[in-house]
């Protein structure tokens, strides 16, 4: 009986050793295969990232157009209900004749409706329809134009201030910079609200994850970001960054005078 038990223990040990050796061998084979096919795997991953980026860009395109009716709901969700207040953080910096680039669903246009010489521009016909409806319901005549920031349909020196809240990629386009410079009067002001940050917490973490999934860097309120923004120049105008507290959040407001 003890001899049988000893044989069984020995057999089990040999079996475990054999499995371990087999696992190590397969691990070596898999590792060698990955090294052998590393260039192909790298190219496949790179291709998948390109495809994903294209899908995300296409989704954003539809979000601003056919799905524009969902914009306010999504904006409310990613801001914890503060999206309108975030956009209005730019309001104290606006002076004189004002042009808003990318007016979206019209929150800032509503706040500016009582001022004279205000205009808005957006590329999306769906956004324009939503903003116009919002203004008319409040008894204001829409002063909105369809078009691109790279080819503004306004005369030179027509505005004292150009403002953009949460702008898309057009804000980095040199053609947009040239057009902003053209329509601004001498000494004109550029105001940009690029991002805002919720107070730290679980909800803010979920929002940051949503940013990453859509290939956008999550907003960060730290010295490195501020140092980078200190060097930012758009349309030949050096922009000064400052944080504005809005409820339990902070909004970055960039202001520069030409």
5-44: pLDDT as tens digits: 455 554 554 554 455 444 444 544 444 444 455 566 566 6
- Go through 139-171 and write b for each residue having 16 or more CB atoms within 10 A of its CB, e for each that does not: ebebbbeeebbeebebeeebbbbbbbbbbeebb
Sign of CA dihedral 103, 109, 110, 111: positive
- On whether the CB atoms of residues 149 and 121 are closer than 8 A, the answer is yes
Spatial neighbors of 157 by CB under 8 A, at least 6 apart, are 182, 183, 184, 185, 186, 188
- How do strand 249-257 and strand 196-198 relate by DSSP bridges? antiparallel
Tokens of 14: 């040999």
Tens place of pLDDT per residue across the chain (258 aa): 555 545 555 455 455 445 544 444 454 444 444 445 556 656 665 667 676 567 656 666 666 778 888 889 988 988 999 999 999 999 999 999 999 999 999 999 999 999 999 999 999 999 999 999 999 999 999 999 999 999 999 999 999 999 999 998 899 999 999 999 999 999 999 999 999 999 888 877 877 776 777 667 777 777 777 777 778 899 999 999 999 999 999 999 999 998
HEC sequence for the chain: CHHHHHHHHHHHHHHHHHHHHHHHHHHHHHHHHHHHCHHHHHHHHHHHHHHHHHHHHHHHHHHCCCCHHHHHHHHHHHHCCCHHHHHHHHHHHCCCCEEEECCCCCHHHHHHCCCCCEEEEECCHHHHHHHHHHHHHCCCCCCEEECECCECCCCCCCEEEEEEECCCHHHHCHHHHHHHHHHEEEEEEEEEECCEEECCCHHHHHHHHHHHHCCCCCCCCCHHHHHHHHCCEECCEECEEEEEEECCEEEEEEEEEC
Give all domains of the chain, ordered by start, each with its CATH number.
2-63 (no CATH), 71-257 (3.40.50.150)
pLDDT of residue 17: 46
């Amino acid at each position: 009986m003890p001899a049988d038990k000893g044989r069984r223990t020995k057999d089990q040990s040999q079996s475990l050793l054999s499995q371990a050796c087999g696992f190590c061998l397969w691990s070596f084979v898999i590792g060698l295969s990955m090294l052998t096919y590393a260039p192909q795997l790298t190219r496949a991953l790179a291709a998948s990232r390109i495809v994903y980026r294209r899908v995300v860009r296409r989704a954003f395109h539809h979000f601003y157009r056919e799905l524009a009716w969902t914009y306010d709901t999504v904006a409310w969700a990613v801001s914890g209900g503060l999206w309108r207040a975030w956009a209005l953080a730019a309001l104290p910096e606006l002076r004189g004749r004002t042009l808003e680039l990318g007016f979206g669903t019209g929150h800032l246009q509503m706040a500016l409706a009582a001022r004279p010489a205000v205009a808005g521009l957006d590329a999306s016909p769906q956004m324009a329809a939503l903003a116009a409806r919002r203004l008319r319901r409040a008894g204001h005549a829409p002063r909105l134009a369809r078009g691109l920031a790279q080819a503004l349909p306004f005369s030179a020196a027509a505005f004292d201030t150009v403002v953009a809240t949460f702008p898309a990629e057009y804000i980095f386009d040199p053609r947009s910079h040239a057009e902003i410079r053209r329509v601004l009067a001498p000494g004109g002001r550029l105001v940009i609200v690029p991002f805002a940050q919720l107070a730290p917490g679980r909800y803010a973490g979920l929002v940051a994850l949503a940013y990453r999934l859509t290939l956008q860097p999550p907003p960060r309120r730290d010295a490195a970001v501020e140092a980078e923004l200190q060097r930012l120049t758009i349309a030949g105008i050096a922009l000064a960054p400052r944080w504005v507290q809005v409820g339990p959040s902070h909004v970055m407001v960039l202001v520069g005078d030409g």
